[in-house]
Structure 1
Amino acid sequence: MVLGALFAAVASVPRSLLVYGVPAGFVLLWQGGRLLNKLWWQPRRLERALRAQGLRGTTYRFLTGDVKEFGRLNEEAWASPLPLGCHDIVPRVTPFLYNNVRENGKTCFSWFGPIPNVTITDPALVKDLLSNKFGHFEKPQFPALTKLISDGLTSHEGEKWVKHRRILNPAFHLEKLKLMLPAFSACCEELVDKWEQSLDSDGSCELDVWSELQALTGDVISRTAFGSSYHEGRRLFQLQSEQAERFVAAIQKIAIPGYMNLPTKNNRRMRQIQKEVNSILRGLIGKRIQAMKEGEPTKDDLLGILLESNMRDTDENGQSSLGMTIEDVIEECKVFYLAGMETTSVLMTWTMVLLSMHREWQDRAREEVIGLFGRTKPEYEGLSRLKTVNMILYEVLRLYPPAVVFSRRTYKEMKIGNVTYPASAFIEIPILFIHHDPDIWGSDAHDFKPERFAEGISKASKDPSAFLPFGWGPRTCIGQNFALLEAKMALCMILQRFEFELAQSYTHAPHTVMTLRPMHGAQIKLIRVI
């Protein structure tokens, strides 16, 4: 009777629906099976394979992995500040990583959605990873998100990376950087003059130096990259800063398939910013190219050097060719602005905070600066002879590195150390954790001790490859000399004019928004040097 009713129901279905509907149903089932395999069975198999090789880690959760737990722990850790003078910041800045390593060992795994994320803290393995000893590793790619912030050198791979690095290298040669020193000096002088005008009758004032130093580095990158002042580049600076914050909000949800295609408020705003930034940069680049075509000499700024190098680039047969498209140049300019501004402002902010906490080192640095330059503007030869200032900057970069984690991705199954990792696994290199590891830096790893760098980087720790603020190997940050030279110039000119200490309103709360920032600003009391 039941079968009869079933056959009757089937007989009543139009033949066209049976012809097309049944295959469509099989297709849906097949696609559903593939999705289930990707989101459940495959991660479960990978988890068993990793555990079988002796690794420990978190248990896979369907679809989101550890993304929710990552966010929850961040919220908890960031709710309370640290005591003043405390540099043991790993539990607050990266609580999920800290807990995972503590519970599962220094090589462990977690889950970024359905993708295994392996943490490796052994400096020797990290050095080999970054130098590609085990074969080529890729940076994790999120095309929909990367294009919204900066699809430049830092995200390229293979031949495209080689070509772009070759074209960009001339802009960061030492001789070119020396030509930018007057711009560094002019921007810093405007800043310290502004601060002096803010002093009260007693010769002191309080400022949030985080926002002030962002303005400084925004000014520097505007002038050195595009030949314009900070005020002309202000809109670009504001947009890129907002995009960076929205990027962090999106990255925690990118593991959800198709998330970036959803018309969320954050996604829509990121696309609006992308369009406006591209429009501004296209205008700047177009004007510069037109001026070069009309015979104007090339300017000694990053954009001018980049365009000149790009036009000189040759293909593999030695034929002249345009190495980068206009779109490529736009993306590299975004990297200039974001990385050039962010890295140095973070370094300078934490340097002023730490020298406020450790006044004896501030006094030693000022004594060195006055001894070399007096009250005159610093010049390159003197900057290259700085020792105490160098030690301080290195120690700040160790304790408060701008980038707290580097990530790579296996493009095929690879064996690293004694463990075989599957294709497309994320390899996480926790720079902040390595820089604070007592097994590497000693029992005083959380203390501010610039003297550990007195004999250089190679003798500062038990492992010379454990200092990684700018990376290692072929993909070492191309702008590290630019950032350090700018930081030295700024710090010297500030020390010449001011003493500084923490304001009573300062709260010690480092956290990450792409880079390691002070969560509530950096309120500093400036005092005129007599």
Structure 2
Amino acid sequence: MGESMWSIVKWLVCGLILIWVWKFFNWVWLKPKRAEKSLRQQGLKGNSYRFLIGDLKETSRLRNEAKKKTLPFTNDFFSHLFPFHQQHFNKYGQNCWTWLGPIPVINIADPELIKEVFSRMNEFKKAKLNPLVALLVPGLVSAEGEKWVKHRRLINPAFHMGKLKLMHPAFNASVSELVNKWEKIVSKTGSSEIDLWPHFSSLTADAISRAAFGSSYEEGRMIFELVLEQMELALRLLQSVPIPGKRFLPTKTNRRMRQLNSEIQKLLVAIIDKRKKEMEAGEAAKDDLLGTLLDSNFKDSSERNQKRKLSMTFQDIVDECKLFYLAGQESTSVLLTWTLLLLSKHQDWQTRAREEVLATFGKNEPDFDGLHQLKILTMILHEVMRLYPPVCTISRMVFDDETKLGHLTIPRGSMVSMSALYTHHDPKFWGDDALEFNPERFSEGVAKATKGSTVFFPFGWGPRICIGQNFALIEAKLAVAMILQRFSFELAPTYAHSPTTVLTLQPQHGAQVILHQL
């Protein structure tokens, strides 16, 4: 009996191993080759699939070579940032695919197809390539289906204009600290060279700490620093072959990602738990993002469940707060950095923007309602986001069979990729001056500039458009307005133009300008 049982166990183990080997072989070879055949039959072009690595090795090699170079300060940097994709487009045209390991990534350049992908969120979903990367961007960004609907509904009130107006003093306090610091730096000589990038990273981290949690940057700086490190590790993971089960390996990167997540979790739990207990003790909800989220969640749970169970779990709230930190800090800091760099280069637009700010506010602190009257500054910010979109590429994945997109049938497990950078720079949509800094193109608004087409999506588009876009734009307007009131600025000779991506579009070697006190 014992030998018989042992024989059965051996056969079961062998059977499981064979099943696993077959699934792995199917995933790493048969499935990609079927997808490649299907795409070729539909008229698309791309490289033949290479076992396991696809195009990753060549993509990484060309990108590393490009990062060693700097450019003249022009806005023509797509080939510098994505050299492999530029070569691919030159060879195969825009309607082509690349390989992210064994996953085909289909480039979508037609505005109507881009609009369709953004609109059909239940068919074109967020890619789930590495669960460890999901630790960095949890919450609303990665949620799908009913969970996304519930979270969006509960978070929406925190980003209504009325709530953002109540956060204006928090933004004002953060920007005031920055410009006061700059005034001290330049007070001795009247001018000084500074690197904008670390200053704006600190500013936006401070602002999100105050606006989201009512705490200062000093109290929230540990969360900010940990999130930044986690972001750098996530980028490293995204550039590696997405092998199933790889996250369980005890690699240095995997261990550090989990350690960082645990530390961030503890810090956020302490902040949220304290606020939750205050509300349970009868204190009114504060007018920051966390207070609004907790209040919205509590009211929803009270209406829907007499037992007063939270509609969002405590962990859900922790995840959303972590997302506040990453999205709220990162998108605004890059927008501010590229805005001041471009205004340093284009002094005429800097002068026009300053004249508008002084005509609206004088030397007084900009008020919330007055920010909406800054037409020229709004045009400038839109043009900056066109030329330097915070997120250069947006991807979606297909999980169902026979998913149609225009005339294409997208194979299951494939990704579609929409390049904001490529589309925003395309002369077909923006004219012969597409690579020139010309805010005048937005003088009659975004809809007129784009002719109603989906060719401008710095915050995404459709139902999943970034919920915090007004938050970012108001903060950016206030910061630029207050800087223009006190300083003029020009490019420093030390500035080296080399845009790079670390999830968002950043200046690889810093953003050096010379400040002059007015």
1:359 aligns with 2:347: yes
Distance (whole Å) between structure 1 residues aligned to residue 372 and residue 132 of structure 2: 40
What residue in structure 2 maps to residue 343 of structure 1?
Answer: 331
Give the share of equivalent positions with the same residue, in percent.
50
Match of 2:405 among 416, 431, 455: 416
What residue in structure 2 maps to residue 176 of structure 1?
Answer: 163
What residue in structure 1 maps to residue 184 of structure 2?
Answer: 197
SS at match of 2:460: coil
1:449-528 maps to which residues of 2 (within 5 A)? 449-461=438-450, 464-528=453-517
Give the conservation status (yes or no) of the 8 Å contact 1:214–1:345: yes
1:147-296 maps to which residues of 2 (within 5 A)? 147-296=134-283
Shift, 1:89, TM fit: 1.3
Distance (whole Å) between structure 2 residues aligned to residue 337 and residue 119 of structure 1: 30
Shift, 1:314, TM fit: 4.3
Distance (whole Å) between structure 1 residues aligned to residue 286 and residue 300 of structure 2: 18
What residue in structure 2 maps to residue 96 of structure 1?
Answer: 84
What residue in structure 2 maps to residue 407 of structure 1?
Answer: 395
Distance 1:521 1:65, change over 3 A: same
What residue in structure 1 maps to residue 106 of structure 2?
Answer: 118
What residue in structure 1 maps to residue 132 of structure 2?
Answer: 145
The residue identity in structure 2 corresponding to 1:201 is K
Distance (whole Å) between structure 2 residues aligned to residue 520 and residue 49 of structure 1: 43
1:373 aligns with 2:361: yes
Distance (whole Å) between structure 2 residues aligned to residue 37 and residue 287 of structure 1: 50
Match of 2:31 among 7, 18, 42: 42
CA deviation digits over 1:185-209, x for unaligned, max 9? 1111110000000015330011111
The residue identity in structure 1 corresponding to 2:264 is V
CA deviation digits over 1:42-86, x for unaligned, max 9? 2111101100110001211111211212211111111101102x1
Distance (whole Å) between structure 2 residues aligned to residue 46 and residue 492 of structure 1: 51
Q: Which moved more, 1:268-277 or 1:392-401?
A: 268-277
Query: Which entry has the higher C-alpha Rg, 1 or 2?
Result: 1
Structure 1 gap ranges (5+) = 1-13
Shift, 1:466, TM fit: 0.6
SS at match of 2:135: helix
Distance (whole Å) between structure 2 residues aligned to residue 316 and residue 190 of structure 1: 42
1:79 aligns with 2:72: no
Give the conservation status (yes or no) of the 8 Å contact 2:205–2:224: yes
SS at match of 2:397: strand
Give the conservation status (yes or no) of the 8 Å contact 2:380–2:439: yes
Shift, 1:144, TM fit: 2.0
Shift, 1:257, TM fit: 2.8
Distance (whole Å) between structure 2 residues aligned to residue 409 and residue 236 of structure 1: 31
Distance (whole Å) between structure 2 residues aligned to residue 285 and residue 18 of structure 1: 55
Distance (whole Å) between structure 2 residues aligned to residue 477 and residue 16 of structure 1: 58
1:52 aligns with 2:19: no
What is the TM-score of this pair, normalised by structure 1? 0.94
What residue in structure 1 maps to residue 52 of structure 2?
Answer: 63
Give the conservation status (yes or no) of the 8 Å contact 2:386–2:424: yes
Shift, 1:35, TM fit: 1.6
Distance 1:315 1:88, change over 3 A: farther
1:132 aligns with 2:116: no
Distance (whole Å) between structure 1 residues aligned to residue 462 and residue 241 of structure 2: 28
Shift, 1:96, TM fit: 2.2
The residue identity in structure 1 corresponding to 2:230 is Q
Structure 2 gap ranges (5+) = none
Equivalences, count: 514
Distance 1:40 1:189, change over 3 A: same
Shift, 1:258, TM fit: 2.5
Shift, 1:19, TM fit: 5.7
The residue identity in structure 1 corresponding to 2:132 is L
Match of 1:392 among 358, 380, 386: 380
Q: Which moved more, 1:274-283 or 1:463-472?
A: 463-472
Give the conservation status (yes or no) of the 8 Å contact 1:440–1:462: no
Distance (whole Å) between structure 1 residues aligned to residue 310 and residue 391 of structure 2: 33
Distance 1:349 1:29, change over 3 A: same
Shift, 1:317, TM fit: 6.0
1:323-338 maps to which residues of 2 (within 5 A)? 323-338=311-326
The residue identity in structure 2 corresponding to 1:221 is I
1:105 aligns with 2:74: no
What is the TM-score of this pair, normalised by structure 2? 0.96
Give the conservation status (yes or no) of the 8 Å contact 2:129–2:242: no
SS at match of 1:149: coil
**CA RMSD, aligned part only?**
1.8
What residue in structure 2 maps to residue 4 of structure 1?
Answer: none
1:317-328 maps to which residues of 2 (within 5 A)? 321-328=309-316
